[in-house]
Structure 1
């Protein structure tokens, strides 16, 4: 797992300033935009590209996203 993953034409990362926020870049990391910002799932610790989904380990458990990190669901 890591703080940053490559997904298609995007790089997705955990924000270095706010760990409950994900950012994405479409220009090799020159500029970053917010993809997800929330606090109900805790702070992101690691991200993994798992093919059809992204796995996000947070301070409140393991979550998955099937839409490139826009929304998250708890993995039971």
Structure 2
């Protein structure tokens, strides 16, 4: 079984996880997406996949694209 089969987000509107921007009105959407992530049994696998795959859009593993970029940058430094 693939980790995606167990993901809590599979029952949600995919657009929730792809806010336009990471500030202003998008902050509420990001927090709503993270609330789903925080109740997900595969949140770690999701975040790991997004980091390994260089996923540059959306909320994955409760991390925004900007947070993943910062994480990659710190890891490479």
Coarse TM-score class (shorter-chain normalised): under 0.3
Relative contact order, higher structure (CA 8 A, sep 6+): 2
TM-score (norm 1): 0.25
TM value normalised by structure 2: 0.24
- Specify which structure has the higher proportion of helix: 2
